[in-house]
Amino acid sequence: MEYTLENIQNFKGKYPKQLWYLFLTEMWERFCFYGMRGVLAIFMVSQLQLSDKESNLKYGAIQAFVYAFTFIGGIFADKILGFKKSLFFGGMVMIAGNLIISLSPHDFFYYGITLSIIGTGFFKPNISSMVGELYREDDPRRDAGFGLFYSGINIGALLGGAVCVYLGKYHSWSLAFLSAAIVMVIGLVTFWFTKKTIGPIGDSPLKHWSASKRLSREIMVYIGSMLSIPLILIMVKDTGYTDMFMYSIGPIVIVYFIYELLKLKSKTEKSRLIAAFLFIAFSILFWAFFEQSGGSLSLFAANNLDNKFLFFTIDPNIINNTSNSFFVILFSPLVGLLWVWMSKRSIEPNTVIKFGLGFLFLSASFFIFYYTRFFVDTQGVTSLNVFTSAYLVITLGELCLSPIGLSIITKLSPRHLSGMMMGLWFLGSAYGQYVAGILGAGMSTPNENASKMEKLMSYTEGYKQLALYALICGLVLIALSSVMKKLMHGVK
């Protein structure tokens, strides 16, 4: 059967079958990514002997580069490689990075992390863009498709978050990183054997060029990516260089965005692109708060939580790394049904209001993280159950923003700029991760020999401040909803 864009988009039922293949590919890649993300802070503190402050800053730097490289990967996919080749190249580099770390985690950690940064940059934005192209622009099933795709992300994150922490803390850190490499191989094999079903989606934009000319451009991209390894390695090791990079890349990207914006002839397209940019700007603030989960909350879990969850005894870091994904899987279909129920009664909030609600839930969750201080014992250890309840609330906030965010960016972006804008969405996440590291470092006590009680009080006071900031952001967004709706020109 020949798969054309027309017959792919003319699918019957709720989901195209290609979505399931991309779902499986992304699920294993997210196992790899979130497995590593979940162990970064505790590995650096327990194995590399970094302080809480240094660990938070390096965590923020590593995560920032991961997401910053998605912007570069998105541009190269749009202009040269196409989504398919970009995804496969990124996956291979991620496998190499994890294998290198697994050989000797203490010696090769930063080298492997550098490769993982590059690989994720080429992989992550492009698979999301392919999901968007499975649907016509006006297809109302698109949000449901991204909701299912988001579930795949979180199934992988749930498995990776539990397995890598368990293997690393109780068996071997080499096994933890090796498991991430193995599942990434499974993801790439899945994509390789199913990629024919997505037809022309993700093909190189240069496919009409001669084979030799196209190949030379592609090779230049691969070589350029490898040449960036020493630069990224230096910046990850020294967060001072990270600051310089983040202060530089933002203005450059904004200039490039304005350049592409001014090239558009349609006023509607320009207006929608501005709306997409504003969504991305607010997402930076959301992720700066939300991404404490891999930094300060990970260290908080390691130091200040008991191991009693309901009727079970469990490592609190496993709970920290899996609660969000578990609640997403559990509540994502229910939230989706709620939106459908409200839509039938013409009371469904618009996308801007949903973003605002996301911040309000985020605020409530950090107030709960703050209130863990009122359940503390004399040793500075507090309730894992209360801590977990905050993750339930933060997940509801995420479900108001993240899956809808992926969908709205593809809706608001002209097709020829979809890779760039998806990359810009993830670049916004990069700045969120970067700020998250700075916030986490600021909340950690400056005294390296501080007691558990002192650490708990320092972190929970910081969480109260984040709760207040998130509350303000949510109220501002809701107040701006009418302005944003005008910019979106009917896109829902």
pLDDT digits (tens, 9 = 90+) for 21-53: 888 888 888 888 888 888 888 888 888 888 888
Concatenate the DSSP letters of all residues of 244-278 into one string: HHHHHHHHHHHHHHHHHHHH---HHHHHHHHHHHH
Helices 211-227 and 83-103 cross at an angle (nearest 10°) of 30
Q: By mean pLDDT, which of 159-168, 230-239, 452-461 is the weakest?
A: 230-239
Contact 132, 284 (CB under 8 A): no
Rg (CA), the chain: 22
Which among 125, 120, 127 has a CA at the least distance from the CA of 62?
Answer: 120
Q: How many residues does the chain have?
A: 492
Mean pLDDT across the chain: 85
pLDDT digits (tens, 9 = 90+) for 158-192: 898 889 888 988 898 999 999 999 999 999 999 89
* Dihedral sign for Cα atoms in the order 294, 297, 299, 305: negative
Which CATH superfamily is 5-488 part of?
Answer: MFS general substrate transporter like domains (1.20.1250.20)
3 state DSSP class of 313: strand
pLDDT digits (tens, 9 = 90+) for 342-369: 878 888 788 788 889 999 999 999 999 9
Which among 223, 472, 486 has a CA at the least distance from the CA of 363?
Answer: 472
Reported as type and span, the H/E element at residue 68 is helix 52-76
| Cα three-residue angle 280-476-342, rounded to 5 degrees | 80
Pairing of strands 312-313, 308-309: antiparallel
Report the pLDDT value the prediction gives residue 276, as an integer from 0 to 100.
86
Confidence of residue 101 (pLDDT cuts 50, 70, 90): very high
How crowded is residue 345: how many other Cβ atoms within 10 Å of its Cβ? Answer: 7
Which phi-psi region, left, alpha or beta, contains residue 306 (left: φ > 0; alpha: ψ -120 to 50)? beta
Contact 230, 118 (CB under 8 A): no
Lookup result for tokens 């909350």: 297
Ranges of each domain in the chain: 5-488
Torsion of CA 358, 361, 366, 368, to 10 degrees: -160
Give this prediction's pTM.
0.80
Q: Which two tokens stand for residue 346?
A: 């013409």
